[in-house]
Structure 1
Amino acid sequence: MTELSYTHGTSPTALLGDTIGANLDRTVAAWPDREALVDVESGRRWTYAEFAADVDELASALLASGIAKGDRVGIWAVNCPEWVLVQYATARVGAVMVNINPAYRTHEVEYVLRQAGITLLVASLRHRTSDYRAMVEQVRRNCPRLRETVYIGDPSWDALTGRGTAESRAQLRTRGSELSCDDPINIQYTSGTTGFPKGATLSHHNILNNGYFVGESLAYSEQDRVCVPVPFYHCFGMVMGNLAATSHGACIVVPAPSFDPAATLRAVQDEHCTSLYGVPTMFIAELNLPDFATYDLSSLRTGIMAGSPCPVEVMKRVVAEMHMAEVSICYGMTETSPVSLQTRRDDDLEHRTGTVGRVLPHLEVKVVDPVDGVTRPRGTAGELCTRGYSVMLGYWNEPEKTAEAVDPGRWMHTGDLAVMREDGYVEIVGRIKDMIIRGGENIYPREIEEFLYAHPKIADVQVVGVPHERYGEEVLACVIARDPADPPTLAELRAFCEDRLAHYKIPSRLRVLEAFPMTVSGKVRKIELRETYADRD
């Protein structure tokens, strides 16, 4: 009898029952003098004792400002130490921190401020073309619950942090006993392809345990130094980065306010980082730096690559040239805190590039028929679902949308097409909405992308389906050339595929681009590629 596509993670290590604040207290008690946080750009450093003191100072200031348990505090900022302080201080007082994408503009930030009911907003002053103060001024009249905005690097930040009183400090000492690990503590807005984003609401229990078990899989200890160039506003940064580090006494290293490949490698070298995070496009950018070979990356042993599938050739270089022999692939989504599946330190190259790993401890995953919900046999494609401690409490104030994503059995439906192998490892073969249907044939873009990465003229590639009058859809390959002066032609691409791919999988259209449209978290916006080039030759 064929085994079904269901598996669950067992572990002798129990789930944590702590709040984030209580867990930080444990770490501080164990390693008060070890470094907790380093901001490379400003040169500022905190030991765990110093970090906890600043977290408590900010937490008591929040209490003195009238922030009550359950109040929403927004953070609209690029990566900086203040972001991390806000993360842990809001957890200390039981406020719900609302992460706001730094790329948002007025229309989007106004929606989040209103939908979440944010009462206090902490924001950057400026970054690149974003003037956050000017944007707040444009929308604040439409956000009646917003009482105060504080800007990092501005006197308003100092005024906030200095607001604590003897009374608020005493209140903070008792607040911990009033909090439950199941309290909502974080809202993260997921970037939908249609309509407004939805606010995934997460508890202490959700994100603390997910960060902890990701760190366990990477064998983190107080000896580790984790370089986090991915954005804090996303789970990758604040959970897999910050919480994985602090739950193990490791150090968080912030290389720059936003991703910069050279700054990232300098931070690894100068801070002797043992772990490095990124999406595949970040690692590609680092590996392609003209002076890549001059950086000393020998301190690295591990790290995480997530967000999209990892090309085989990129993984080979990360292991060999970046010394990340124990690098891990993670799969997840904001609604699941985020990681459900992860490769392990001793997995071979094929498992790290052909799969997204196996289920984490205390979680369940299954692959089901997208139509009737019946669990599929192993080796066959279907929708990936996950269940367990990591599944969100729900979308903030949107019970109907929550019910569409989380079924009555508490299974989170991911929207991803997956295949579970006989050994329990899972392959992601595409998004249900990204699958190309050409003349009745189902085509999974990742298969074609992996094949085209081997083309000598292609540095990066994304495959999407675009409308076709006869076949319904046709295959468009969007590529970045290794040498911009000598890009591949469609004829060369098709000749490369001939007799090696089924005819219906061979791209019939080609676009050579300088860069792909990206989200702030580093994912390629395939929907934008489809929309932009749908009607172009």
Structure 2
Amino acid sequence: MQPSLIDRIQQVMALSPESHALEFQGQWYSWAEVGQAMASVQKHLDQAGLAEGDVVGILLRNRPAHVAALMQVLGSRRCVATINPFQSPEKVASDIAGLNLKAVICDRGDLAHPSLLEAAETCGTVVLQMFADQHLHIEPASDNTVPLGSGHHPALPDTCILMLTSGTTGPAKRIKLPYRSFALSLMGTPGHYSSHKETEAIRLKGTPAVLTTPLVHIGGMFAAMAAVTQARPIVILEKFSVAGIRRALTIYQPKLISLPPAALRMILDADTPADELSCLLAIRCGSAPLPPSLQEEFEEKYGVPLLDSYGATEFAGAVAGWTIGDHKQFAKQKRGSVGRAQPGTEIRVVDADTGKQLPPNTVGILEVLSNQIGSNDWTRTTDLAEIDEDGFLYIRGRADDAIIRGGFKILPQDVVAVLRSHDKVKQACVVGIPDHRLGEIPVAAVELNAGCTGIDVDELIAFAKSKLTSYQVPTAIKIVDEMPRTPSMKISKHAVKNLFLEQV
């Protein structure tokens, strides 16, 4: 019988307490030190009267004390409400006030601005602060150790995370992730991506995982907790950098890491020596579309398979993905696919209006049936997709991304593909903005390749006109120094849209 998430965390903590658990900026913290930090979280939450199911806000940064706090809140069957620390202090304060929690855990540096403590005091919220020196510290940030007032967020006994979505297509929102879904997703991960299943008893791994994606988003949180449940130490990068990943690869020689496409491009642009990636058997990709041209360039230079995947916060992990075996057999024929359905998951494409299942190689709305959801019903996504005769999934855009211009439907990814085919364009993003006559019109932000000059907006529009149907051509293009991105390194379509709306 598979252990519960709580049981697995306890098993891992007891394996070898003095062994390395978390590395940050060159310093290792042992499992025993992580356990002490977790015990401190437990003590202070107990003293504040928080029981199982109570919701605890955490401003999650990629730092070791934050991983310990996350492990303890989940391990005590309380619910984590993720709070984005990359917002302005005023927005963080507004988030805390809106959640009205009994307790919030944050980095000591987050308290430099008084608005957080002021919001917590107004709501009667206990605040714990985290920091690390030679040891990990989690302690009260004020004299108030018991929640005051009433009307705090209700307990959610079956929910492990109130997960903040990425905010790629609009303002971020929270959804409930059940304990069962999250645990099933975690425990099922290793066998799908590796060439064999791990059937042996749980044991401490010698090679660490490398955490490059933000803990505050599902990708980073999933990666960290997957490493813990696999009894694997974690090297924590506060944020992705080429220097940071080169250091981790050189010192620790991991066989598998996860990187978004933007990070792959940064590694290529830095002309990173191929021998520094020779330890890798594969790289998992996700969080944003992987352009086939980028995949081809990267794999040709480094010889490392890129295993693309597709998932959503609602499913607590990946829905589909490439395996090493599939990559060996189908990589060239199925370029552009995000792989096949994960074990325990079924996928289909249906007509948006009738709900009727569509035949292979037909674009429609993607639906998912997963044992991680705990429901026998198909869940409709907002993604346009097609599935070929071999079960490989191709994402063709988002249904809610489609731009309707005077009755004509425009798929932004079609316009992006044309703009990116220009030899001076590095990246492009196409969004729709309101228009009083046509309802909606397409606009584009474009980032040029390094050192490119002598190109202007008129030339880009003329290029688009030569390749696209007239109604697909963006009505306006902005050349930006750098694409606005979310903390998980996705292009923020919401921010791109605001570049044009601010002028209206």
Provide TM-score, normalisation by structure 2. Answer: 0.82
The one-letter amino acid paired with 1:293 is P
Question: How far 1:309 sits from its partner (Å)?
Answer: 0.7
Alignment match of 2:324 (pick from 330, 334, 345): 345
> Given that residues 224 and 275 in structure 1 are in contact (C-alpha distance below 8 angstroms), is that contact kept between their aligned partners in structure 2?
no
Question: How far 1:194 sits from its partner (Å)?
Answer: 9.8
Unaligned runs of 5+ in 1: 1-15, 162-181, 393-407
The one-letter amino acid paired with 1:184 is T
* CA–CA distance in structure 2, aligned partners of residues 143 and 459 of structure 1: 46
Alignment match of 2:427 (pick from 453, 460, 463): 460
* CA–CA distance in structure 2, aligned partners of residues 381 and 137 of structure 1: 50
The one-letter amino acid paired with 2:267 is E
DSSP 3-state at the match of 1:433: helix
Alignment match of 2:252 (pick from 263, 266, 271): 271
Moved more, 227-236 or 59-68: 59-68
Alignment match of 1:203 (pick from 178, 182, 189): 178
Alignment match of 2:56 (pick from 73, 82, 97): 73
Q: Which has the higher contact order (CA 8 A, sep 6+)?
A: 1
Q: Compute the RMSD of aligned alpha carbons.
A: 3.5
Alignment match of 1:84 (pick from 54, 64, 67): 67
2:123 is aligned with 1:148: no
* Deviations 1:165-199, CA, capped at 9 Å, x for gaps: xxxxxxxxxxxxxxxxx932222123568997543
Provide TM-score, normalisation by structure 1. Answer: 0.78
Alignment match of 1:301 (pick from 276, 281, 292): 281
* Deviations 1:96-123, CA, capped at 9 Å, x for gaps: 1221111233554345434544222211
> Given that residues 168 and 492 in structure 2 are in contact (C-alpha distance below 8 angstroms), is that contact kept between their aligned partners in structure 1?
no
Moved more, 500-509 or 305-314: 500-509
> Given that residues 55 and 80 in structure 2 are in contact (C-alpha distance below 8 angstroms), is that contact kept between their aligned partners in structure 1?
yes
DSSP 3-state at the match of 1:296: helix
Question: How far 1:386 sits from its partner (Å)?
Answer: 2.1
* CA–CA distance in structure 2, aligned partners of residues 189 and 124 of structure 1: 18
2:291 is aligned with 1:311: yes
* CA–CA distance in structure 1, aligned partners of residues 252 and 126 of structure 2: 40
- Number of paired residues? 478
Q: 1:532 maps to which residue?
A: 499
> Given that residues 159 and 178 in structure 2 are in contact (C-alpha distance below 8 angstroms), is that contact kept between their aligned partners in structure 1?
yes
> Given that residues 343 and 351 in structure 1 are in contact (C-alpha distance below 8 angstroms), is that contact kept between their aligned partners in structure 2?
no
> Given that residues 177 and 316 in structure 2 are in contact (C-alpha distance below 8 angstroms), is that contact kept between their aligned partners in structure 1?
yes
Residues 109-258 of structure 1: pairs in structure 2 closer than 5 A? 109-126=92-109, 134-144=114-124, 146-153=125-132, 157-159=137-139, 183-190=158-165, 197-219=172-194, 222=205, 224-239=207-222, 241-255=223-237, 257-258=238-239
The one-letter amino acid paired with 2:79 is V
* CA–CA distance in structure 2, aligned partners of residues 472 and 156 of structure 1: 54
* Closer/same/farther in 2, CA of residues 156 and 32 from structure 1, 3 Å limit: closer
The one-letter amino acid paired with 1:417 is L
> Given that residues 311 and 353 in structure 1 are in contact (C-alpha distance below 8 angstroms), is that contact kept between their aligned partners in structure 2?
no
The one-letter amino acid paired with 2:130 is Y
> Given that residues 184 and 204 in structure 1 are in contact (C-alpha distance below 8 angstroms), is that contact kept between their aligned partners in structure 2?
yes
Q: 1:404 maps to which residue?
A: none
Question: How far 1:352 sits from its partner (Å)?
Answer: 6.8
Moved more, 433-442 or 332-341: 433-442
Alignment match of 2:489 (pick from 519, 522, 526): 522
2:390 is aligned with 1:423: yes
Q: 1:449 maps to which residue?
A: 416
> Given that residues 75 and 99 in structure 1 are in contact (C-alpha distance below 8 angstroms), is that contact kept between their aligned partners in structure 2?
yes
> Given that residues 300 and 323 in structure 1 are in contact (C-alpha distance below 8 angstroms), is that contact kept between their aligned partners in structure 2?
no
* Closer/same/farther in 2, CA of residues 195 and 496 from structure 1, 3 Å limit: closer
* Closer/same/farther in 2, CA of residues 411 and 469 from structure 1, 3 Å limit: same
> Given that residues 165 and 218 in structure 2 are in contact (C-alpha distance below 8 angstroms), is that contact kept between their aligned partners in structure 1?
no
Q: 2:347 maps to which residue?
A: 365
* CA–CA distance in structure 1, aligned partners of residues 441 and 495 of structure 2: 16
The one-letter amino acid paired with 1:430 is G
The one-letter amino acid paired with 1:203 is P
Q: 1:166 maps to which residue?
A: none
> Given that residues 369 and 376 in structure 1 are in contact (C-alpha distance below 8 angstroms), is that contact kept between their aligned partners in structure 2?
yes
* Closer/same/farther in 2, CA of residues 385 and 115 from structure 1, 3 Å limit: farther
Q: 1:9 maps to which residue?
A: none
Q: 2:371 maps to which residue?
A: 389
Alignment match of 2:27 (pick from 40, 43, 46): 43
> Given that residues 417 and 428 in structure 1 are in contact (C-alpha distance below 8 angstroms), is that contact kept between their aligned partners in structure 2?
yes
> Given that residues 106 and 138 in structure 1 are in contact (C-alpha distance below 8 angstroms), is that contact kept between their aligned partners in structure 2?
no
> Given that residues 213 and 360 in structure 1 are in contact (C-alpha distance below 8 angstroms), is that contact kept between their aligned partners in structure 2?
no
> Given that residues 79 and 161 in structure 2 are in contact (C-alpha distance below 8 angstroms), is that contact kept between their aligned partners in structure 1?
yes
DSSP 3-state at the match of 1:152: strand
Question: How far 1:370 sits from its partner (Å)?
Answer: 2.9
The one-letter amino acid paired with 1:263 is G
Q: Alignment identity in percent?
A: 24
Unaligned runs of 5+ in 2: 142-156, 199-204
* Closer/same/farther in 2, CA of residues 56 and 351 from structure 1, 3 Å limit: farther
Q: 1:13 maps to which residue?
A: none
2:472 is aligned with 1:505: yes
* CA–CA distance in structure 2, aligned partners of residues 228 and 184 of structure 1: 24
Q: 1:401 maps to which residue?
A: none
* CA–CA distance in structure 1, aligned partners of residues 445 and 119 of structure 2: 38
Q: 1:284 maps to which residue?
A: 265
2:5 is aligned with 1:20: yes
